[in-house]
Structure 1
Amino acid sequence: MTNSKDIDPTLPVQGQLEAYNARDIDAFMQWWAEDCQYFAFPSTLLAEGTAAIRARHIERFKEPDLHGHLLSRIALDNLVIDHETVTRTFPEGAGEVDVVCIYEVSGGKITKAWFKMGQPRLHLATN
């Protein structure tokens, strides 16, 4: 029998990142616990439960340039901390933003996540 403490906490974090980049909402949601919480760092609750997180990401996945590029990852016990550069389509245009993502994992699912966003950098238009 596998103990939940034996489950590699990076597995669901990597799985949701791959699904995010594929813009596959069903694959993305399989990694989130039913009662998960999604925060802007440090404590602003943005979404609670899978229905709210799904709705948030259905909209995000419509962005044509969406892609999270993992720069580094640290795992300690049940916490996984990723540093990413995320390409987005902002209201002002295409660009990228640095993000620190902190995930709490239990039983192979993400139970809580915190996101600290840097300042967006718009891509220069080429004519």
Structure 2
Amino acid sequence: MSFAAVAQAQLDAYNAQDVDGLCRHFADDMAVADLNAEPNLHGVEAFRERHLGLFAQFPDNRAELLSRVVIGNKVIDHERVFRSPDATPFEVAAIYTFAGEKIARVDFVKA
């Protein structure tokens, strides 16, 4: 599976609020950080817990892909995130770094 296909599959799982499907695309020792910062989350189990809480708090949460760029082992997605029908959407850039066929790190830029 290409890096772009993995990025799309995890986005599809995110939008379906399928936590198991989402986590399937991440390495066990994955990390999440804001761009140029130290990771604020370590490991797929912590990632799973964060998303269980997120989806419980925002049952209508979804992300719309605006653009995608693949450069080497990185996929950069520009997304518009909708937490709920009445909330103002916000934009993020998610930079997925791959190790093998799994996402090893995600760096976020939030607007």
Provide the TM-score with structure 2 as the length reference: 0.92
- Work out whether 1:28 is the aligned partner of 2:19: no
Residue in structure 2 matched with residue 69 of structure 1 by the alignment: 64
Q: Which has the larger radius of gyration?
A: 1
Kept in 2, the 8 Å contact 1:20–1:61? The answer is no
Gaps of 5+ in 2: none
- Work out whether 1:97 is the aligned partner of 2:98: no
- Work out whether 1:80 is the aligned partner of 2:54: no
State the secondary structure of the residue aligned to 1:13: helix
Residue 109 of structure 1: which of 98, 102, 111 is its match?
102
Kept in 2, the 8 Å contact 1:65–1:94? The answer is no
State the secondary structure of the residue aligned to 2:36: coil
Q: 1-side partners of 2:59 and 2:29: how far apart?
A: 29
Q: 1-side partners of 2:18 and 2:101: how far apart?
A: 19
The runs of 4+ residues in structure 1 deviating greater than 4 Å are none
State the secondary structure of the residue aligned to 1:45: coil
Residue 41 of structure 1: which of 14, 35, 44 is its match?
35
State the secondary structure of the residue aligned to 1:95: coil
How many residue pairs align between the two structures?
109
Percent identity for Structure 1 against Structure 2: 36
State the secondary structure of the residue aligned to 1:20: helix
Alignment deviations for residues 48-67 of structure 1 (CA, whole Å, 9 cap, x no partner): 00111111111111212201
Gaps of 5+ in 1: 1-6, 119-127
Letter in 1 for 2:99: S
- Bigger shift: residues 76-85 or 59-68: 59-68
